[in-house]
Amino acid sequence: MPNAQMLVLDAVDAVKASTAHDNDDQTTVLQIQEWIDRSYTRTRRWVSTFMPEYYSAEFLPPPLVGAQGGATIAKPDDYERLIRIERQYPSGNNSWYPLVMRSVLSQKAGIPVDVSGQYRITYIKCPVDGYQYLDVPEGCEDIILEEVAARVRNRHDEDPSFSQGVVAQLKREAMADLRMRYGSHGRSCLQLTHGWDPQISFYEQGTNFVIF
């Protein structure tokens, strides 16, 4: 699907024009930009729930060497949400198998587990600081504009329900279009698995993944 790549400054102008508040200062440009930023982040997350590959990236951390269970891998700086973690098997081969996610309570306490090897992390990126464009699938920029327009209308004691209704309709249309083009993509390996077995697994802890 084509990418919208709408300038943030153009989005501000579009919101002010659509709400007929082009020339007043009751809502400032900085306030509108802040609302755009929040709506942009929410819209990216919404798209990534059923189309995670749109904002995905792969990360190969340094291999774990001589590592035992409890070793950590630092998350990438632009990490927002995990799609999957894989381990190369056998070492040096181009075969990868996904790790399951387990509760911290399912650690293999007292049992030495060798977790050495190369790992591959596929994750969803967060927006970069200082972005100038709204990086969303074409049509989804209107979701952002109407969400912010509702905030502007509300600030001016106007009825925001029209914009809110448009947002709901745009989301239905965008979801149907994206799924028709790309299908529905599940988040494999991220269903929390309880219990113990010999398979190497992981959990998230702060800025790290813990392998055990």
pLDDT digits (tens, 9 = 90+) for 10-43: 999 999 888 877 676 778 889 999 999 999 999 9
Q: Are residues 48 and 148 in the same domain?
A: yes
pLDDT at 43: 95
Q: Report whether pLDDT(70) > 50.
A: yes
Query: Who has greater pLDDT, 175 or 62?
Result: 62
Q: Does 168 map to a domain?
A: yes
Q: Work out the average pLDDT over 195-201.
A: 73
Using the CB atoms, write b or e for 158-179: b if 16+ within 10 Å: bebeebbebbeebbeebbeebe
Does 73 share its domain with 151? no
What was the pLDDT predicted at 138?
87
105 and 203 belong to one structural domain: yes
Per the domain annotation, does 1 fall within a domain? Answer: no
For the cut 80, the answer to whether the pLDDT of residue 90 exceeds it is no
Statement to judge: residues 82 and 177 lie in one domain = no
Range of the domain at 45: 6-53+131-182
Q: What percent of the chain has pLDDT over 70?
A: 84
The whole-number pLDDT of residue 96 equals 93
Pairing of strands 100-101, 201-205: parallel
* pLDDT greater at residue 70 or residue 73: 73
Give the range with max mean pLDDT: 45-49, 104-108, 190-194.
Answer: 45-49
Residue 160 lies in a domain: yes
- Assign residue 165 a region (left: φ > 0; alpha: ψ between -120 and 50; beta: otherwise): alpha
- pTM value is 0.79
Q: Name the region of 81 (left: φ>0; alpha: ψ -120 to 50; beta: rest).
A: beta
Tell me how far apart the alpha carbons of residues 5 and 12 are, in angstroms, rounded to a whole number: 14
